[in-house]
Amino acid sequence: MPFRLLIPLGLLCALLPQHHGAPGPDGSAPDPAHYRERVKAMFYHAYDSYLENAFPFDELRPLTCDGHDTWGSFSLTLIDALDTLLILGNVSEFQRVVEVLQDSVDFDIDVNASVFETNIRAFQTPTGMPYGTVNLLHGVNPGETPVTCTAGIGTFIVEFATLSSLTGDPVFEDVARVALMRLWESRSDIGLVGNHIDVLTGKWVAQDAGIGAGVDSYFEYLVKGAILLQDKKLMAMFLEYNKAIRNYTRFDDWYLWVQMYKGTVSMPVFQSLEAYWPGLQSLIGDIDNAMRTFLNYYTVWKQFGGLPEFYNIPQGYTVEKREGYPLRPELIESAMYLYRATGDPTLLELGRDAVESIEKISKVECGFATIKDLRDHKLDNRMESFFLAETVKYLYLLFDPTNFIHNNGSTFDAVITPYGECILGAGGYIFNTEAHPIDPAALHCCQRLKEEQWEVEDLMREFYSLKRSRSKFQKNTVSSGPWEPPARPGTLFSPENHDQARERKPAKQKVPLLSCPSQPFTSKLALLGQVFLDSS
């Protein structure tokens, strides 16, 4: 072992406590219940610290116990933490915070915001690819650079297709699809895309091709968009990219950066943002390759107690000025997906190591601080919002196998809409790139057609006031075709009239049941994720 590795390894061994709940002599896995409670405590330590010291700023500064704005000055950490509250089972706090945000957050402000980070607007370009930054009040600034990263162009289809379904306005999904297609048409002859492109000319400015920073969520959204929308074309696009990525960038189950036109290695580094890839592989059923790559990344975690932003693969060490770990979620995300697919206890061990490392190294009086340098564990005065949105959430879900998010379709909620009965909560949730879950059924159940301007908010209020009634999912209730509303819109039934309304229906009238993307493949998604790869 090189001498330079002895210091961080020795320091880590000295700092980290003994693992309570770690595998014993019989090889048993870490106790999920124990670590689930530890993760919940981590969340509330960070969440309470933000509320007490940083709200309404975007993020908490944990070393000075105050706040600052980062991505747009709209209480980003609180927004990002919302659905984590639900996953932890704290419905009352979720409802309270929703009311607080409705009263306090205003998006019509004179602030320059990242289009990628806020996912709002700015697609009016000759290529249909969006600018990287937009002013929320005035639009694109006259002097705005036209150079945008690939991920900043290709990470819209999940949210924008959802928005189109809920509003009845197709423009959101349309512009997202145009952006995806322009990137697809801009790939090189060997099937790769670069890192940054000029959205006015369509010329590649940075020609490094890989799966990490600047590109990552473009590939992620091709897969998740395909699953959410049951779009075989999006999946086919990803599978073509996947072939090129394996042919030109994969070496010994690591993924390097190469020149997009020639395929020659440009950067032999692993970036921490690339750790999402094994999880994405699991969603298309490529479990063996996913596990091999995951284990490579896990060795880096064990070396430092976290993933450095850049790791030089040939040298086996950090890259200068890229030694930090801002408490990113990607490796934990992959562990969560792979554990659902395999049940391999090694994945729980990563979760255990993450809890122990983050608590020992990063925890301070006012939250959890970014690790500025993994070599000596110096801290930085920032807790990014994704810590509560993603890192803690994926950790909790890794240790909570019965969480509603993991529903395999065996249970569901039935709700009456103007168009008939809908099924919600049957599983198959799709996480966006900030780990916010979308129920595919809700896209269809809550669809608001322009001709029928019924209120989605009213529907959801009715739904949450219903006594949650779970029942076994019957296979024969699933239709293979898309759900279409009946000709007559009808009226929204109140919860107390739910049973009466069902009894009043004519005997021969059949209420069309929702056939949504989650149900036909939800079991496969939960196990292997083979959505479009077989003929069943």
User: Cβ distance 188 to 214 under 8 Å?
Assistant: no
Query: C-alpha distances in angstroms, 212 versus 208, 218, 254, 264, 272?
Result: 10, 10, 12, 17, 8
220, 274, 309, 384: the catalytic one is 309
Q: Which of 93, 117, 359, 421 is catalytic?
A: 117
Q: Which residues contact 150 (CB under 8 A, 6 or more apart)?
A: 183, 193, 194, 195, 196, 197, 214, 215, 218
Q: What is the DSSP letter of 446?
A: T
User: Is 359 an active-site residue?
Assistant: no
Catalytic-residue membership of 117 = yes
Catalytic residue among 159, 323, 330, 349: 330
C-alpha distances in Å from residue 315, one per residue of 121, 162, 310, 311: 42, 44, 12, 8
106 by DSSP, 3-state: which?
Answer: coil
Phi/psi of residue 380, nearest 5 degrees: -120, 155
Tokens of 298: 């896990």
Known catalytic membership, residue 333: no
C-alpha distances in angstroms, 494 versus 416, 418, 460?
A: 9, 11, 11
Q: What six digits make up the tokens of 48? A: 């309470």
Count, in order, helices (H) and strands (E) of the chain: 20, 23
Q: Are 72 and 136 in contact (CB under 8 A)?
A: yes
HEC assignment per residue over 252-272: CCEECEEECCCCCEEECEEEH
Contact 135, 110 (CB under 8 A): yes
Q: Is 488 helix (H, G, I), strand (E, B) or coil?
A: coil
Q: Which of 216, 274, 323, 434 is catalytic?
A: 216
**Amino acid residing at 153:** I
Distance CA 95, CA 104 (A): 14
**Contact in structure between 252 and 268 (CB atoms under 8 Å):** no
Q: Which of 72, 83, 39, 44 is CA-nearest to residue 436? A: 83
Q: Cα–Cα distance between 376 and 384 in angstroms, integer?
A: 21
SS (H, E, C) 159-185: HHHHHHHHHCCCHHHHHHHHHHHHHHH
Closest CA to 302 of 336, 268, 346: 346
d(CA 284, CA 273): 19
- Alpha-carbon distance of 376 to 393, in angstroms, equals 27
| Residues acting as catalytic residues | 117, 216, 309, 330
